[in-house]
Structure 1
């Protein structure tokens, strides 16, 4: 996918009110387009021992539902 494709995908997700979670890596494009979404980060080890920081981008509807569920 091109950066333009990713941006279009992210803007479409941002516009929806349903619960949405996106798994990916931290980058400026995601931070800019998904401003206001919660980010859970996990340090992982990828192929050949490369260190990575994976991110779960959680929109407000999903974050609210998770908060209610956890009490």
Structure 2
């Protein structure tokens, strides 16, 4: 993880972007952690590239990119 923190308002949804749109150990761990700590933001699996996670995926390393959505933006 390189950029997960933000000083903006609480996210209403956090998109977990994977290159192929499929769950992997990183998305599964994120969902488990969100449940354990009780995050108010919904985590949504989504297919998207064009970020640092793409290079990891291409060499077989499970990776994801977080993008948040806030109604206050």
TM-score, normalising length from structure 2?
Answer: 0.31
Structure whose alpha-carbon radius of gyration is higher:
1
Tell which has more relative contact order, 1 or 2 (C-alpha 8 A, sep 6+): 2
Between structures 1 and 2, the one with greater helix share: 1
Between structures 1 and 2, the one with greater strand share: 1
